[in-house]
Amino acid sequence: MGKKQRAAAAAAPAPGPEEAESSTAPAAEPRLPVEVIYCGVCGWPLEYCEFGSTFTRCKEWLGAEHSELFDKYYSEDALAAKLGTISLEAQSKLEEDTAKKEAKAEARAEAELKKKMESQVVIKRVERTKRKHVTVISGLDKFGIDLKKAAKQFASKFATGASVSKVTAGATDDEIVVQGDVCYEILEMIEDGVGILKGVPADNVEIVEDKKKKGGN
């Protein structure tokens, strides 16, 4: 493992500083990077999946994607060897912890999904002057849509200005302002999931009309 790498490092003498200066000449080849396979579920190196919060899913993924590696990490021998110096007691505690963590993460993911499904996208028509309007769309970010890109898409689709405006100082509740009254077009776009506007359930979209208060000047 690490020791072996160390030995390898010692075996291949590091090029000295003289060589570095003449690196334009065919100098020493760069050492190739180690290819690390990361888990497709948790994104960690495969061997660390067991410490993550999605161990069961990681295992399934590995079994499906790299069945030969699955044996390396999860066969009986590997499991026995893995125990190493740790006591059985500590190991069982660790497993228990992992299971607990997993359950927790699952519950959290579920709650998040529920919340996401409950959140609303509001398309609002706001009156500017007399017969001019802007369309304000808020809540898109909750569905993981990049607001900047969405604004760009609206701008090119409707050939008008579209911008992301901050409602408060925080970055969480920004909205997109599109010039002109395009409420229904946008509603249609969201329903069809055009471009990057994917993953927004049509039921969660709402159109609101906001009349400018009379009076003033």
Partner 1 sequence: MFKKFSTATDISGSTPVKSSVQRQLRATILSQWKIEPETLESIWPKKEGLVHVKCREHISIYTVNSRPIFFQHFDSPLVPTLRILHQYPYILPKVQIDRGAIRFLLAGAHMMCPGLTSKGGWLPPAEEDLPGGTLVAIFAEGKEHAAGIGITKLSTEDMKKINKNVGVETVAYLGDDLWSVKSL
Q: Which residues bind partner 1 (CB under 8 A)?
A: 1-3, 5-6, 8-9, 14-15, 19-20, 23, 27-31, 33-34, 36, 43-45, 47-48, 51-52, 81-86, 90, 94, 97, 171
Q: Is 58 exposed, middle or buried (0-12, 13-18, 19+ CB in 10 A)?
A: buried
Would you say 25 or 159 has its CB closer to partner 1? Answer: 25
- CA dist 201 to 9, 44, 140, 188, 206, Å? 55, 32, 11, 12, 11
Shortest distance (Å) from residue 29 CB to partner 1: 6
Would you say 45 or 199 has its CB closer to partner 1? Answer: 45
The rounded distance, in Å, linking the Cα atoms of 52 and 43 is 10
Shortest distance (Å) from residue 32 CB to partner 1: 8
Would you say 108 or 128 has its CB closer to partner 1? Answer: 108
Token digits for 143?
């569905």
Q: Which of 198, 193, 191, 123 is nearest to 162 (CA)?
A: 123
DSSP E strands in the chain: the ranges are 121-127, 133-138, 162-165, 175-179, 205-210
Would you say 129 or 168 has its CB closer to partner 1? Answer: 168
Shortest distance (Å) from residue 117 CB to partner 1: 23
Would you say 84 or 216 has its CB closer to partner 1? Answer: 84
Shortest distance (Å) from residue 192 CB to partner 1: 28
